[in-house]
Structure 1
Amino acid sequence: MKQIRLAVLSLVILIVSGCGSARYGRDALLSQDIGEYYKAIELYKKARKKEKSRTKRIEYAYNIAESYRAIGQYEYAAQNYKFAIRLGYPDNEALLRYAEMLRITQDFEEATETYRTYLDSVPGDQRALDGVEAMRKTQEWVAYPTRHIINPIKEINSPQSDFAPVFVGGRDNEVIFTSTRKAATGKKESMIHGQKYADLFRANFSVQRQKWQQPKLLDETLMINTGDEEGAAALNSSGEQMIFTRCRYDKTQAMGTELYSTSQSRGSWSEPIKLEVVGDSIIAAHPALSPDGSVLYFVSDMPGGQGGKDIWMARAEGSSYGKPVNMGSVINTAGDEMFPFVRDNGELYFASNGHIGMGGLDLYVASKNEDDVWIVNNMGSPMNSSGDDFGISYVTGENKGMFTSNRKGSRGDDIYSFMVPPKIYEVEADIFDNETKARLDGATVRVIGTDGTNLKVRARNGNFKMKLKPETEYIFAAFKDGYLRDKAAANTIGLEESKDFRFEMFLTPTDAPIKIENINYEFGSWELMESSKVALDTLVEVLVFNPTITIELMAHTDHIGSDQFNFDLSQKRAQSVVDYLIEKGISPQRLVAKGYGETWPKTVTRELAKQYDFLKRGDELTEEFISQLTPEQQEIAKAMNRRTEFRVLSTDFIEKFDAEPER
């Protein structure tokens, strides 16, 4: 079972008379070896205080640091590693441990220097290289947090340790968790963590009060909760079967951690039965069940693992379970992997201090790829922190749940709620008259999506809004009688965050000629310049998007040259544009070429008047008007007259095809 940490460790300064440092040291080492770290720290401190040998005092300082590290007191561990190193602890391992504690407590600058010092002595050590990489990843995770929203659950948490919540029946209104709070039935304090033996507690959510009610012992008959230590439970999908962890003691000595099974009927639990899944292993803990109950996951240090504590699985065989199988090196590491949880979508969640993480235990999610291989990912910030984060549980079918953390601000191991708010996508478009730039009332927007969406929405006062679905591409087409259509697109595929799409759509009125910008010809020629084809491709899009219109291509010249020359040149230029459009697939039935020479001078629009202060709206750029301008202004005005425009002739075109000749 996970070593539970104290928020504040009371310093033990009582000296037992007649007990020498050697005895304290031997007892401390024995306690440390069997995992009684809290007791070991007390004994090492007593031994160090009485010890006269400098070598022994250095050794005790290092072992105190090791014990603090084991119970998650990383700042105290760092202080004692630093003390041991300063006194001259001979093993470079102390440098590595110290660097790890500095990294976990996010003192990255000193951690980096310590890792470098260690790597100078032990070049290429993978643990140190992983530590350096973990610092880089931690800063990345903090800079780019996930969308999880987390909060401590004050009504459930106590000054003692509260951890490993599981939802009853997968619902969000009842939770079972482990706690060492004062209401726990154990009368002794654990030599591992210094608190009362843990028990299982239950809490219910009050819908009326919108808060969690005061937690109560899961079983007040002491059938499940006993004088020993109980915790870390798993429930089947209905909540009627529970497998939990029990650590039995005999004269205060731990007899190993075991799994027990019990079932509930009408609110009462049956006598727990020990599950024989690991033989003589000292650890079988932290159970989890697959959604269908056919697979039991648990934690053990039995032989055949990757090192430390590993996650194992065993398939149900009637009322028992088959031979356990290690989850393998992708999941398990040389460190500790603990507190598994299997979500209803098949994802495996667990805590680990062996994978690259932010510090202490981190939460990880594993899912299988197309080749049935596990892919493991750190859950990132804010789910993970510089402290220990573990014991996660999801509400069935929802993206929310609870987990445990002793991060900064916690009173020890506290239970936190988390949720991922739904991604919300919304589109809003403002629709304008392209000539007046005023909002255009009465437009309609056609919406087509790859999910099958196909609808028409009336825009109100030139504004259109709607919610979008995830993983969908959309096209929006705005139209109104007497105007060319405009379109916009939005794509929610692959978006990790909520997003608002905003567009401005401009509908061009068809009651006046529409200039095609950037249409240029070779001097004195009707041959289109290459740069003009980009603009004409835009016109092709307009015609494709407005398939029922026919247009007249209108080419104009300035007044330089004879009337006949300008007329012929403009006609040929208009025809060049028509030929290009036909080449691009536009039906010739929709196109008319017309050259106007110099006979239709440009009338200054609102936009042109804003651009040129020597012009005002409504000015007609006749030869007489232009002659009154400065030479520079004349060139600008003549260029305005040299233009290619189109105007809409009809809006009800239906393409006609020649009948197939009779044979």
Structure 2
Amino acid sequence: MKRLYISAVAMLLISSIYAQNKDTKDADKLFDRLEYVDAAQSYTKLVEKGKADAYVYKQLGDCYYNVFNTKEAVRWYAKAVESSQDSEVYYRYAQMLKAEGNMQESNKQMAHFVKLQPNDPRSKAFTNNPNVLTQLKQQSKLYNIKKSDVSSDKADFGAQLTSNNELYFSSARNTSRKKNGMDDQPYLDIYKATRNADGSLSQAIEVGELNTKWHDGPVAITSDGSTMYYGSESFNQSEFQKDKSKHLKYGQIYLYKATKGAGDKWTNSKALPINSKEYSMRNPSISKDGKTLYFSSDMPGGMGGEDIWKVSVDGDSYGTPENLGNEVNSVDNESFPFITDDNLLFFSSNGRQGFGGYDVFIYNPTTKETKNVGSPVNTEKDDFSFSYNKEKKVGFFSSNREGNDDIYQADPICGV
């Protein structure tokens, strides 16, 4: 769910869309709608009928890459690269092999990527330090971790603990909601739980006044608890783009602002003026003084896929978004920024060398140092959306290391 929420725009189907060819028409239609589970099934039928080629194998690999089914992604990418492929296929194949723990074959595919794209920053990083994983495993442990009892059997991520002990996060646990076609889970809603004095968490409840029929969350709360920033979809504003050739409406993820009202309810929700139908803005984090809003976006002017940006805040006025540059961002995706009270920035990246999948990094703007936070927070799977409450000395992050996006608690060692 997290991988999809990072990389894919929202969309509405109007009618049938253009297909690659007559054999792949149905599967391509599902893939273009981001319905990867059903698309994979449709492409697999072509394999069973003997109608598969390198394109079908690549599409199957991409389907499973997008839902982080590493085993199946490896299976189909292996068949795809039996024929010549675009360089990104080799890179994705290498990442899936790494997530499966097959470093020897992963390095082999990365070497092929390097040959095709020698000037790509990812190629240079690999060439300069192909054994980075050994070094990362030797780092001192920064956190003890445990799976949070707030996790469900559906996707849960983006947890943030407020000053008044409320833990907000996004979840697909509401099975009464319509399922999205990306991974066959319900649409995301915003939830909150209360953290008790002993560190346990109450049963999570929906933040019903904010949830829509689209994806909602994650959120950021100001230090005084009075203001929330959160993500939702541009369809709420009846704003989208049309692709006439594919007969689709493409929406984006917008940032919204709400204020705490009577009865602890969030009111006056409104879309930020810096949103655009041209790109998504999501995963907000607000500085302690409330004057700088961090977020991730694929807006023009970035380093690659999705980048970390910041913008000045003055009441309801916002400055010009500023990209954090290559000290944070790469040619791939950086997302889920979280700015601490002492101005350290946690973020997730799949474009920097790490354990595999998305890793959590920490950036110190004073020293200009970016560091992988290491094990056990990071694994060969997707690890992301790290937040840290300095006052209460506790962090939260999510990981799909057990096959599902779950929330974990991180307790610092030696005063992190």
Other-structure match for 1:333: 330
CA contact (8 A) 1:176 1:203 kept: yes
Other-structure match for 1:503: none
Other-structure match for 1:217: 206
Other-structure match for 1:100: 95
Other-structure match for 1:231: 217
CA contact (8 A) 1:350 1:391 kept: yes
Q: Aligned to 2:284, which of 272, 282, 287? A: 287
CA contact (8 A) 1:21 1:50 kept: no
- CA RMSD for the aligned pairs? 2.9
CA contact (8 A) 1:404 1:416 kept: yes
- After superposition, what is the alpha-carbon deviation per residue over 1:241-285, rounded to whole angstroms, capped at 9, x for unaligned? 111111255899652211111111231111411112132223111
Call closer, same or farther: CA 1:46–1:328 in 2, change over 3 Å. Answer: same
Q: Aligned to 1:418, which of 407, 410, 413? A: 410
Call closer, same or farther: CA 1:79–1:130 in 2, change over 3 Å. Answer: farther
User: How far apart, CA to CA, are the structure 2 residues paired with 1:115 and 1:281?
Assistant: 32
User: How far apart, CA to CA, are the structure 2 residues paired with 1:107 and 1:149?
Assistant: 26
CA contact (8 A) 1:244 1:260 kept: yes
Call closer, same or farther: CA 1:27–1:128 in 2, change over 3 Å. Answer: farther
Other-structure match for 2:353: 356
- After superposition, what is the alpha-carbon deviation per residue over 1:273-298, rounded to whole angstroms, capped at 9, x for unaligned? 11121322231111110111101111
- Please state whether the residue corresponding to 2:97 is helix, strand or coil: helix
Call closer, same or farther: CA 1:255–1:113 in 2, change over 3 Å. Answer: closer
- After superposition, what is the alpha-carbon deviation per residue over 1:338-394, rounded to whole angstroms, capped at 9, x for unaligned? 011000000111111112211111111111236xxx321111111111011111111
- After superposition, what is the alpha-carbon deviation per residue over 1:561-609, rounded to whole angstroms, capped at 9, x for unaligned? xxxxxxxxxxxxxxxxxxxxxxxxxxxxxxxxxxxxxxxxxxxxxxxxx
Any unmatched runs of 5+ in structure 2?
6-18, 239-246
Note if 1:68 corresponds to 2:68.
Answer: no
Q: Aligned to 1:346, which of 326, 343, 348? A: 343
- Of 386-395 and 316-325, more deviation after overlay is shown by 316-325
Note if 1:193 corresponds to 2:183.
Answer: yes
Any unmatched runs of 5+ in structure 1?
6-19, 424-495, 497-663
CA contact (8 A) 1:229 1:248 kept: no
Note if 1:317 corresponds to 2:314.
Answer: yes
CA contact (8 A) 2:162 2:389 kept: no
Task: Provide the TM-score with structure 2 as the length reference.
Answer: 0.85
- TM-fit CA distance, 1:104: 2.8
User: How far apart, CA to CA, are the structure 2 residues paired with 1:49 and 1:123?
Assistant: 37
Call closer, same or farther: CA 1:420–1:33 in 2, change over 3 Å. Answer: same
- After superposition, what is the alpha-carbon deviation per residue over 1:302-325, rounded to whole angstroms, capped at 9, x for unaligned? 111111011111111331312212
- TM-fit CA distance, 1:329: 2.1
- TM-fit CA distance, 1:102: 1.4
- TM-fit CA distance, 1:85: 2.5
Other-structure match for 2:242: none
- Please state whether the residue corresponding to 1:272 is helix, strand or coil: strand
User: How far apart, CA to CA, are the structure 2 residues paired with 1:388 and 1:322?
Assistant: 33
User: How far apart, CA to CA, are the structure 2 residues paired with 1:105 and 1:95?
Assistant: 15
- TM-fit CA distance, 1:121: 6.6
Q: Which amino acid aligns with 2:286?
A: L
Other-structure match for 1:82: 78
User: How far apart, CA to CA, are the structure 2 residues paired with 1:23 and 1:196?
Assistant: 31
CA contact (8 A) 1:59 1:89 kept: no
User: How far apart, CA to CA, are the structure 1 residues paired with 2:270 and 2:403?
Assistant: 34
User: How far apart, CA to CA, are the structure 1 residues paired with 2:137 and 2:373?
Assistant: 11
- TM-fit CA distance, 1:24: 6.5
- Of 126-135 and 234-243, more deviation after overlay is shown by 126-135
Call closer, same or farther: CA 1:24–1:200 in 2, change over 3 Å. Answer: farther
Aligned residues: 392
- Please state whether the residue corresponding to 1:381 is helix, strand or coil: coil
CA contact (8 A) 1:344 1:396 kept: yes
Q: Which amino acid aligns with 1:245?
A: G
- Please state whether the residue corresponding to 1:189 is helix, strand or coil: coil
CA contact (8 A) 2:335 2:347 kept: yes
Note if 1:181 corresponds to 2:173.
Answer: yes
CA contact (8 A) 1:311 1:332 kept: yes
Q: Which amino acid aligns with 2:76?
A: N
Larger Rg: 1 or 2? 1
Q: Which amino acid aligns with 2:225?
A: G
Call closer, same or farther: CA 1:288–1:123 in 2, change over 3 Å. Answer: closer
CA contact (8 A) 2:61 2:72 kept: yes
What are the equivalent positions in structure 2 for 1:40-55 lying under 5 Å apart?
A: 40-50=39-49, 52=51
Call closer, same or farther: CA 1:279–1:107 in 2, change over 3 Å. Answer: same
Other-structure match for 2:134: 139
Q: Aligned to 2:147, which of 143, 152, 157? A: 152
Call closer, same or farther: CA 1:348–1:126 in 2, change over 3 Å. Answer: closer
Call closer, same or farther: CA 1:30–1:133 in 2, change over 3 Å. Answer: farther
User: How far apart, CA to CA, are the structure 1 residues paired with 2:4 and 2:87?
Assistant: 28
CA contact (8 A) 1:281 1:301 kept: no
Call closer, same or farther: CA 1:116–1:326 in 2, change over 3 Å. Answer: closer
Other-structure match for 1:11: none
Q: Between the two proteins, what is the percent identity of the paired residues?
A: 29
Q: Which amino acid aligns with 1:203?
A: A
User: How far apart, CA to CA, are the structure 2 residues paired with 1:267 and 1:34?
Assistant: 38
Q: Aligned to 1:387, which of 364, 381, 384? A: 381
- Please state whether the residue corresponding to 1:393 is helix, strand or coil: strand
The answer to which structure, 1 or 2, has the higher relative contact order (CA under 8 A, 6+ apart) is 2
CA contact (8 A) 1:231 1:246 kept: yes
Q: Which amino acid aligns with 2:321?
A: P
Note if 1:3 corresponds to 2:3.
Answer: yes
Call closer, same or farther: CA 1:368–1:44 in 2, change over 3 Å. Answer: same
Call closer, same or farther: CA 1:314–1:113 in 2, change over 3 Å. Answer: closer
- Please state whether the residue corresponding to 2:294 is helix, strand or coil: strand
CA contact (8 A) 1:21 1:46 kept: no
Other-structure match for 1:166: 160
Q: Which amino acid aligns with 1:273?
A: K
User: How far apart, CA to CA, are the structure 1 residues paired with 2:268 and 2:29?
Assistant: 35
User: How far apart, CA to CA, are the structure 1 residues paired with 2:124 and 2:323?
Assistant: 27
Q: Which amino acid aligns with 1:213?
A: S
